[in-house]
Structure 1
Amino acid sequence: MRLGMQLGYWPSSPPAGAADAVRAADAAGLDSVWTAEAYGSDALTPLAWWGAATQHVRLGTAIAQMYARTPAATAMAALTLDHLSGGRFVLGLGASGPQVVEGWYGQPYRRPLARTREYVQIVRDILRREAPVTADGDFFRLPLPAPTSPLGPDAARADRDAEPTGLGKALRSTVRPLRADLPIHLAAEGPRNVALAGEIADGWLPAFYAPRLDASLREPLEDGLARRSGALRPHEEFEVCASVPVVVRSSVDEAADAVRPHLALYVGGMGARGANFHLEAVARLGYREVCEEIQSLYLAGRVDEAAAAVPLELVQDVALVGTLDDVAARLRDWEETAVTTMLLQGDPSTWRALLSPGSPVHAAVRG
């Protein structure tokens, strides 16, 4: 099992020390560095900026939101970063949820699995560069077809503005991708979405993974892998890159308190009531009643109480907390799981502790 660094998305401003942390990760021999986006900083720009100072680590998005860009725009960014990094880019994609998609991007959130399938296929077609790219799906059509009949003079202005000219042409990328099989990973939380990742992607990006439930968590993935096309990377090369918060403090309880607000935000506030995929993912770990309590408190504006309601058991299921010795001991729980790479997410002080020579986890991090 490899170790990587998850930088996530920015809070209210660029995170202090991130550039130094990325350079340290590269020097220490970590497998990869990853960025994310929500509705503030984007995932691609920081990855390119910080990644320019690296030579060895893989550079991944975990995640880039599919509704933020057309498939063609995403493929262009991916092939560009792959060239600039010398073949070290990993394209991690996710569908986000209806609050962000409809509230931030102004697009309808419907049939996300079917849309994801079309999206990934177009990106792959662009990267393979075998022919001008065409698509005739429910969500994407390339090129846009000509109108079947012209609109009359009484048609509404909005209808006329929405009509294509019919002049679109199927195109092939002017740039030859460095790798036609550039790896594509999918963020997935529900069983059907996890199965889709196994079927059409090169990796799965779980947000909340509990080693004690490894057998049940990998079941939908195995279902998807069984339907995998022979044109994709073989089953044995499929990756599972799990983001895992890590906090080093003088005690487990003190470290857990630093993780509780993060979990409360995702369970309670990152999604509407009845449509919070993060809540459902944590609930499937055996915390249904706890999740409902956290969400009720959070949506009522009682954010501190929501964080306090996160049990220590949940924190220890999905995060690494405590002293360096505690963290090193809990790392072993992950070694026999489906996870191939742990993407450790922590602040600069935590990373300094993890990467300092002589620390109990230094050897594991370097490996």
Structure 2
Amino acid sequence: MGRWGITLPLTGVPVLHHKDLVAELSDLGYTDIWSAETAGSDAFTPLALAAQWSDKVRLGTAIVPVYTRGPALLAMSAATAAEVSGGRFVLGIGSSSPAIVNRWNAADFTEPFKRTRDTLRFLKAALAGEKVTEEYDTFAVKGFRLERAPEQRVPIMLAALRPNMLRLAAKEADGAITNWLGVNDVPKVRAELGTAELAARIFVCPTEDVDSARALGRLLISTYLTVPAYAAFHDWLGRGEALAPMHEAWAAGDRKAANKLVPDEVVDDLVVHGSVAQCRERVAQYRANGVDTPIIALLPTGADQFELVRALAPGA
């Protein structure tokens, strides 16, 4: 049936409360658990726990910023995750955003493409057990070697939104992870990535209350798509004109107006909503259009989130 992923932890649910759900996931048809890292849980701890609760699902970070940990620490974290999961771990890395990197973690957000490329090259060497002494364009490492390199090769995937990063993912990594993507956008992304694995986080809001779903979608879109990298991504995808009024209001400091100016058709493209059955069918369309690993990001509706995860399983 192909891959079918879920983003954990669920919104507002403590990490340790996921144990029983994680144990069920593979029987429900889920193949993957992917974490995220913004201002809630870190990316690695939930996956280390999930590795003990399920011995079948693949575990991935989507994504870990390349600025907020030193290169050696990132390699150590990845090696540990690979060890505790028995080789089921995929390391997803990316540049993240100026807010997370600079404003929240006091790091310089400079040359994101080069920093991601350099981190990828370092990690490939370090996780292979090599001793690394290298002057990269954006940092230098002298004499680092993992004390215990992973027994199996750790796949590395890149957060990629536009052609340069997608091509880097295709050439030097094991695939790409993308975000805020419409079903009909997939072929354009796939054309740049080629045959490498494409994972996509898909925001799913299982409710037939269209107004509520769109209201939540507009809030998220006006927050995320005003980040420069996402703005450029949607310019490339062809939504520049539709989103121009939102960007103008946001730049003027009018957040409420920016929210209201997100067109319904953009929300409907980027946020899956409707009945559970309709949502499940729409996620499957992403896979049919070229996404290898759809990763559901469940948006809160007030319903029991655990039951929604079960209902959104591919075999439900």
Superposition TM-score, scaled by structure 1 size: 0.76
* Residues 1:8 and 1:98: Cα distance change in structure 2 (over 3 Å): farther
In structure 1, give the amino acid aligned to 2:295. L
Confirm whether residue 310 of structure 1 aligns to residue 282 of structure 2.
Answer: no
In structure 2, give the amino acid aligned to 1:176. A
Map residues 249-288 of structure 1 onto 2, 5 A cutoff: 249-268=207-226, 271=227, 276-288=228-240
- 1:119 is matched with 119
* Residues 1:327 and 1:100: Cα distance change in structure 2 (over 3 Å): closer
Shift of 1:101: 2.6
Deviations 1:72-107 (A, max 9, x none): 111111111111111111100011133433323333
- 2:91 is matched with 91
Shift of 1:304: 4.2
Measure the CA separation in 1 of the matches of 2:15 and 2:266. Answer: 27
Superposition TM-score, scaled by structure 2 size: 0.87
Measure the CA separation in 2 of the matches of 1:175 and 1:9. Answer: 32
- 1:142 is matched with 141
* Residues 1:109 and 1:8: Cα distance change in structure 2 (over 3 Å): farther
**Partner-residue secondary structure (3-state), 1:102:** helix
Confirm whether residue 100 of structure 1 aligns to residue 72 of structure 2.
Answer: no
Structure possessing the higher radius of gyration over alpha carbons: 1
Measure the CA separation in 2 of the matches of 1:121 and 1:365. Answer: 39
Measure the CA separation in 2 of the matches of 1:29 and 1:340. Answer: 15
User: Paired residue for 1:215, among 162, 172, 187?
Assistant: 187
Cα root mean square deviation, aligned = 2.7
**Partner-residue secondary structure (3-state), 2:200:** strand
- 1:2 is matched with 3
User: Paired residue for 1:319, among 266, 271, 281?
Assistant: 271
Greater CA deviation, 298-307 or 35-44?
298-307
- 2:291 is matched with 339
In structure 2, give the amino acid aligned to 1:84. V
* Residues 1:299 and 1:47: Cα distance change in structure 2 (over 3 Å): farther
- 1:167 is matched with none
In structure 1, give the amino acid aligned to 2:229. F
* Residues 1:116 and 1:219: Cα distance change in structure 2 (over 3 Å): same
In structure 2, give the amino acid aligned to 1:292. A
**Partner-residue secondary structure (3-state), 1:289:** helix
Contact 1:210–1:285 under 8 Å retained in 2: no
Contact 2:64–2:92 under 8 Å retained in 1: yes
**Partner-residue secondary structure (3-state), 1:198:** helix
Unaligned runs of at least 5 residues, structure 2: none
**Partner-residue secondary structure (3-state), 2:239:** helix
Measure the CA separation in 2 of the matches of 1:340 and 1:87. Answer: 20
Contact 2:4–2:29 under 8 Å retained in 1: no
Deviations 1:265-304 (A, max 9, x none): 1023xx3xxxx11122233333213323223434555444
**Partner-residue secondary structure (3-state), 1:339:** coil
In structure 1, give the amino acid aligned to 2:244. E
* Residues 1:345 and 1:33: Cα distance change in structure 2 (over 3 Å): same
Contact 1:241–1:339 under 8 Å retained in 2: yes
In structure 1, give the amino acid aligned to 2:262. V
Unaligned runs of at least 5 residues, structure 1: 144-169, 223-234
**Partner-residue secondary structure (3-state), 2:79:** helix
Measure the CA separation in 2 of the matches of 1:16 and 1:174. Answer: 30
User: Paired residue for 1:187, among 159, 164, 179?
Assistant: 159
Q: What is the identity percentage for the equivalent residue pairs of Structure 1 and Structure 2?
A: 30
Shift of 1:36: 1.2
**What is the number of residues matched between the two proteins?**
312
Greater CA deviation, 335-344 or 14-23?
14-23
Contact 2:135–2:141 under 8 Å retained in 1: yes
Deviations 1:299-334 (A, max 9, x none): 555444433332232222223210123223323432
Contact 2:207–2:274 under 8 Å retained in 1: yes
User: Paired residue for 2:178, among 200, 206, 213?
Assistant: 206
* Residues 1:15 and 1:365: Cα distance change in structure 2 (over 3 Å): farther
Measure the CA separation in 2 of the matches of 1:331 and 1:138. Answer: 39
